[in-house]
Amino acid sequence: MNDNTIRELIDAAIAVSKLAYAPYSDYHVGAALLSSDGHIFTGCNVENASYPATICAERTALVKAVSEGQRRFSAIVVVTRNGGFPCGICRQMLYEFAPDLRVIIANTKGEILDDMPLRELLAKGFGPASLEA
């Protein structure tokens, strides 16, 4: 993946983080997910007065992509003000489709703070292969 693609993902994640609906936490998250065929799917967190109903930015991007027919992904950029990592539920959801996903953590200034495979973030993950005989 070249630097231009990474920059494009970061810019997309920053832009969508501004659309976050986060009146309760005031913690804005933007995600940009790159499908294996080169499309970018973005997502922000959408909170709810019933707090647990909140959906994270990463899962918003993932369900947008899957519902558009995409199931293979190569990278995700997650942007927050302070370089937060994907939560456990998002790691699990992403692992279903892309255990080898590259996860790039950036801040809203566009600085890359971390870059690692999902397999490292979700060690010994449970996925579709785990259900095989």
Q: Is residue 90 at the binding interface for ligand THU, with CB under 6 A as the rule?
A: yes
Q: Is residue 47 at the binding interface for ligand THU, with CB under 6 A as the rule?
A: yes
> Is 132 among the residues known to form the active site?
no
d(CA 132, CA 66): 23
Length of the chain: 133
- Closest to ligand THU by CB, 34 vs 90, is 90
Residues 5-24 that bind ligand THU (CB under 6 A): 22
Q: Is residue 116 at the binding interface for ligand THU, with CB under 6 A as the rule?
A: no
What secondary structure letter does DSSP report for 93?
A: H
d(CA 108, CA 13): 9
d(CA 107, CA 82): 6
Stretch that binds ligand THU, among 25-33, 65-73, 100-108, 113-121 (CB under 6 A): 25-33
Of 37, 43, 71, give the one whose Cα is nearest residue 57: 43
Residues found near ligand THU in the complex (CB under 6 A): 22, 25, 27, 29, 45, 47, 54, 56-58, 84, 86-87, 90
Residues classed as catalytic: 58
